[in-house]
Amino acid sequence: MKGTPFKLKQKLSPSAAKKKAERDKASAMTKKRKDRKAENQRNGQRSDSDLHHAASGLLKRVSIKNNRGNYGRGTKNE
């Protein structure tokens, strides 16, 4: 279902859901993710724009439309 305004829950077995939760937690606790979360807090996320991590490692403030729309190229072919 594309374009839904709410997240649909994955239909996973209880054991698969538990393993996924463990993987997600481990991913969120890596040094790279912790550093990015801290950086976003320092820079102050706002509701009118997104913070974009460029390939160079710099952080840019860009419009939500550009950041989530692949800068006008759409997201279907990503």
Task: Give pLDDT tens digits for 18-64.
Answer: 999 999 999 999 999 999 888 778 888 788 888 887 888 888 888 88
What residue ranges do the domains of the chain occupy?
16-45, 48-78
How would residue 2 be classed by pLDDT, with cut points 50, 70 and 90? Answer: low
Residue 1, pLDDT > 60, answer no
pTM: 0.48
Question: In whole angstroms, what is the distance from residue 15 CA to residue 19 CA?
Answer: 6
Q: Where are the beta strands (DSSP E) in 1-78?
A: 50-53, 59-62
Neighbours of 50 (CB within 10 A): 16
Question: In whole angstroms, what is the distance from residue 51 CA to residue 47 CA?
Answer: 10
